[in-house]
Amino acid sequence: MNDDARVRLQSRHWFGKTMAGAVLGFGLALALSGLFAWLGPDGIAGGGGKVQFSMWLMAPVWALVLSFVYLFRDSLRAWLWLGAANALAFAALWCVRWTMA
């Protein structure tokens, strides 16, 4: 593939990418934090320190997703990939909660 045929990253998709990162990034951070809470040391009843760590884990994960969302070529791809990641993470969380409850 030559350089002329490649799609260049453009700034016109910044709003869609930002919204995908903000909305779906929050959901992904929530699901991953929940997975850590269930699968981490001592399970869901790990105590105060684990609860605090799970809560504070959301901010860096959300910020990481929001930072890397601008690497998608357009906003549609950001919404689709992050939507799929959310579906997988929440499905895994549901399976873990159902089997460990």
The DSSP secondary structure of 13-75, one letter per residue, reads GHHHHHHHHHHHHHHHHHHHHHHHHHHSTTGGG--HHHHHHHHHHHHHHHHHHHHHGGGSSSH
Taking residues 43-65, report their average pLDDT. 88
Domain boundaries, the chain: 25-100
pTM: 0.84
Chain-wide mean pLDDT for the chain?
89
**Does the pLDDT of residue 54 top 70, yes or no?**
yes
pLDDT at 80: 98
pLDDT digits 0-9 by tens, 16-48: 999 999 999 999 999 999 999 999 887 787 777
- At residue 31's C-alpha, the angle toward residues 13 and 47, to 5°, is 140
> Exposed/middle/buried for 26, CB within 10 Å: 0-12, 13-18, 19+?
middle
* Of 82 and 101, more confident: 82
Torsion-angle region of residue 65: left (phi > 0), alpha (psi -120 to 50) or beta?
Answer: alpha
pLDDT at 4: 58
Per cent of the chain over pLDDT 90 is 65
